[in-house]
Amino acid sequence: MNYLELDTPALLIDREIMEKNCKDMQDYADREDVALRPHTKTHKMSKLALFQENMGAKGITVAKVGEGEVMASKGLKDIFIANEIVGEIKLRRVRELAKDIDISFGLDSILQAKMVEVAFEGAEKKARVLIEIEVGEERSGVVTEERFTELLDFLKQCSNIELLGVFSHDGHSYGAKDQEECRIINLEAQRRTLQFAELARKKGFLISRISIGSTPSMIFNFPILKGITEIRPGTYIFMDASQANAYGNFTRNAATILSTVISIPTEQRVIIDVGAKGLTTQRRTKGFTATKGLGRIKDWSGVALENVFDEHGILNHQKFHDAVQVGDKIEIIPNHICPVVNLHETAYLISDGKVIEKIPVDCRGKLK
């Protein structure tokens, strides 16, 4: 069917743009001689993860154990959980996954390592971990060399944990004022990650993986320093309004939300049938990814969703108001695509205006 015949709200994916985004990132990784391990928290679809692997990706990244379980059940065999896995229940689930696939996860404290050591006692395989290095995002990860050394010393005493390497996430690149500042942030993050990897090697650890990633620092073809082994961008497969603001156009935006105009109650206001429960209320507030409003209206320069209720989107723009009527369908480019995808059960793959496939968002809601 023509995609405009779909009921709304609907998550649309332009096949050709998505495929080009994936090819461009794979080409970048190949040129820089690093593995591409895409973060699938963006699309949450095993079918697309398999597509990325078929294009050359070496395994995938997930954010949660539940995502890893779904991906493993659909044939993904090399999975990294880029998050600290804490608690007996989750660690038991990782141990179970390790029986059949190559799975690794993040670590950043001795207390967590103690839990891992206990949970993997008697397991056929050791827990395979990467230590997260905090590189400026001010989130999780080891901050000081002293704390890192203490953690390494503890791991030397462990019999059930295998340290594979280190990883970092330069998420603060989203707040860079321009491309040059993004380049500097990325370079400093790489250097700091490599610095900690070298400390581990001096302690006698065989470090095989040094993993970095965030989409803003991967879409400008910045050089990757010698020693980095893999990159983990995620948003690049679809892009979103914030990424488009960074690189200056909307030609790489593969994902939109199809919505219907359901009310025009005043001489300026337009109401559509998707709100916070289909778009979220997230926005970027600073730097070259900063967004206007709560989503950009596709093919309408400068027109953004002004406000949302749970199930209503609000626009107040005279030219847009005068050009639409109740029943018309429009597309919205979300500010941040990752949480938006998690709100939809199905994605519709579109080519040349036609729906060619329905894809289940099979990792939707896998938050544990």
Question: Residue 365 falls within a domain, yes or no?
Answer: no
- In this prediction, the residues of the chain whose per-residue pLDDT falls under 50 are none
pLDDT of residue 180: 98
| Domain shared by 224 and 283, yes or no | no
| Domain shared by 55 and 175, yes or no | yes
- Strand pairing class (307-308; 255-263): unpaired
In terms of Cα–Cα distance, which of 119, 61, 110, 55 is closest to 87? 119
| Domain shared by 117 and 198, yes or no | yes
pLDDT of residue 365: 97
Question: Residue 366 falls within a domain, yes or no?
Answer: no
Peptide bond preceding 9 in cis form (omega within 30 of 0): yes
Please give the residue range of the domain that contains residue 163: 15-237
State how far the Cα of 262 lies from the Cα of 65, in Å rounded to an integer. 39
User: CA quadruple 330, 320, 332, 346: dihedral positive or negative?
Assistant: negative
| Domain shared by 81 and 221, yes or no | yes
Question: Residue 367 falls within a domain, yes or no?
Answer: no
- Please report, for residues 62, 158, 238, the alpha-carbon distance to residue 113 in angstroms, rounded to integers and kept in the order given: 20, 9, 35
| Domain shared by 180 and 66, yes or no | yes
The reported pTM is 0.97
State how far the Cα of 264 lies from the Cα of 129, in Å rounded to an integer. 55
| Number of structural domains found in the chain | 2
Question: Residue 197 falls within a domain, yes or no?
Answer: yes
| Domain shared by 226 and 258, yes or no | no
pLDDT of residue 331: 98
Q: What is the CATH number of the domain that holds 198?
A: 3.20.20.10
Question: Residue 329 falls within a domain, yes or no?
Answer: yes
Question: Residue 307 falls within a domain, yes or no?
Answer: yes
Question: Residue 368 falls within a domain, yes or no?
Answer: no
| Domain shared by 23 and 55, yes or no | yes
Q: What is the CATH number of the domain that holds 249?
A: 2.40.37.20
| Domain shared by 332 and 353, yes or no | yes
Judge contact between 56 and 33, C-beta under 8 A: no
* Model confidence pLDDT, tens digit, residues 337-353: 999 999 999 999 999 99
Q: Which of 237, 262, 297 is the last residue of a domain?
A: 237
Question: Residue 90 falls within a domain, yes or no?
Answer: yes
